[in-house]
Chains A and B, each alone.
Chain A
Amino acid sequence: SQQGEEDPQALSIQEGENATMNCSYKTSINNLQWYRQNSGRGLVHLILIRSNEREKHSGRLRVTLDTSKKSSSLLITASRAADTASYFCATEEGEFGQGTRLTINP
Chain B
Amino acid sequence: NAGVTQTPKFQVLKTGQSMTLQCAQDMNHEYMSWYRQDPGMGLRLIHYSVGAGITDQGEVPNGYNVSRSTTEDFPLRLLSAAPSQTSVYFCASSYSKTRGVNYGYTFGSGTRLTVV
Contact A42 B90 (CB under 8 A): yes
The bracket for how many chain B residues form the interface is 20 to 34
Neighbouring A residues of B35 by C-beta, 8 Å: 96
Contact B99 A93 (CB under 8 A): yes
Of the 9-residue stretches B64-72, B75-83, B104-112, which lies at the interface with chain A?
A: B104-112
Contact A90 B108 (CB under 8 A): no
Given the interface pairs A41-B110, A42-B107, A43-B107, the reply to whether A31 lies near B90 with Cβ below 8 Å is no
Given the interface pairs A43-B90, A99-B42, the reply to whether A30 lies near B101 with Cβ below 8 Å is yes
Given the interface pairs A42-B90, A43-B90, A94-B99, the reply to whether A88 lies near B45 with Cβ below 8 Å is no
- For the complex formed, measure the closest distance between the CB of A94 and the CB atoms of chain B, giving whole angstroms: 5
Neighbouring B residues of A41 by C-beta, 8 Å: 109-110
Instruction: Count chain A residues whose beta carbon lies closer than 8 angstroms to a beta carbon of B.
Output: 24
| B74 contacts A by Cβ under 8 Å | no
- Among B87-114, those with CB < 8 Å from A are 90, 92, 94, 98-110
Neighbouring A residues of B108 by C-beta, 8 Å: 42
| B33 contacts A by Cβ under 8 Å | yes
| A1 contacts B by Cβ under 8 Å | yes
- For the complex formed, measure the closest distance between the CB of A63 and the CB atoms of chain B, giving whole angstroms: 13
Residues of A within 8 A of B (CB): 1-2, 30-31, 33, 35, 40-45, 48, 88, 90-99
Supply 16 A–B pairs (Cβ within 8 Å), ascending by A.
A1-B59, A31-B100, A31-B101, A33-B105, A42-B108, A42-B110, A43-B43, A43-B92, A45-B104, A92-B98, A92-B101, A93-B100, A94-B99, A94-B100, A97-B42, A98-B41
Residues of B within 8 A of A (CB): 4, 33, 35, 40-43, 45, 48, 59, 90, 92, 94, 98-110
